[in-house]
Amino acid sequence: MTKKCKKCGSAANGYSYCTTCGARQDRIPLRLILIGSLLVIGCVWAIWARRRPAQLPLQSVHSTVLPAARWTDIDRALNDSHRMGSAMASLEAMIAERGSYPYAERLLANLYYQEGLYSKSVHWYRIYLAHSEMDDRTRLWLAKSLAAQGQIQAADAVVSEILLRHPNYREALRLQIKWMESLGLQVEMQSKRLQQLDLPGSPAFVVHKR
């Protein structure tokens, strides 16, 4: 139904003023509509903010914010063979503070492997892989650590797990052949597979770290 001007009776056509006589029409100003919309948005935001879990203050989560100075000190220690033990101890302390620190866990495992401390490298690789299950490049280093300890069967089991997900992982396949031969097992099938992978045009191996 078309509204009419109360003064002259002409069609108002939705304008704030009558286009015939200029009389102001009874229409809600756009300004009020905008103000009302802002009030509704403000109320919705206030309700959402009250229901959202409160964020912890920075001082209560200090263990997750590591000063750059600590990393600088560790980095310097890693470049000094006489301070390597101190660097690894600092990394363990940082991990203990946070409870879980994947980057430091993997770094620590790699350092222990380089130092020939294979039991500790196995320990830290397993901690890291417990929450980085798809990092099969690092899992291969776990297998190498186990083999370095003389646990060939355990190392072969880890490599078999990797090859189930990545059958074209050449390095893993070569290590499996080596370890299976040391156990006196047949490796004909694995050797044929490796030969196929070494042919031109074989699929590239791609696996991403966490």
Instruction: Look at residue 32 in the predicted model and tell me its pLDDT.
Output: 58
pTM over 0.75: no
H-type alpha helices, the chain: 30-51, 68-78, 84-98, 102-114, 118-130, 136-148, 152-165, 170-182, 188-197
- Smallest Cα–Cα separation from 22: which of 34, 10, 38? 10
Instruction: Look at residue 13 in the predicted model and tell me its pLDDT.
Output: 56
Those residues whose C-beta lies under 8 Å from the C-beta of residue 92, and which sit 6 or more positions away, are: 108
What does the H/E/C string look like for 177-204? Answer: HHHHHHCCCCCHHHHHHHHHHCCCCCCC
Q: What is the pLDDT along the chain (210 residues), one digit of tens a residue?
A: 456 666 566 665 555 555 555 555 555 555 556 666 777 777 766 675 565 444 433 332 333 445 677 888 888 888 888 888 988 999 999 899 888 899 999 999 999 999 999 999 999 999 999 999 999 999 999 999 999 999 999 999 999 999 999 999 999 999 999 999 999 999 999 999 999 988 887 766 655 444
The pair of three-digit structure tokens given for residue 195, joined into one six-digit string: 């030969």
Instruction: Look at residue 56 in the predicted model and tell me its pLDDT.
Output: 34
The number of CA neighbours under 13 Å toward the Cβ of 199 is 7
Instruction: Look at residue 64 in the predicted model and tell me its pLDDT.
Output: 42
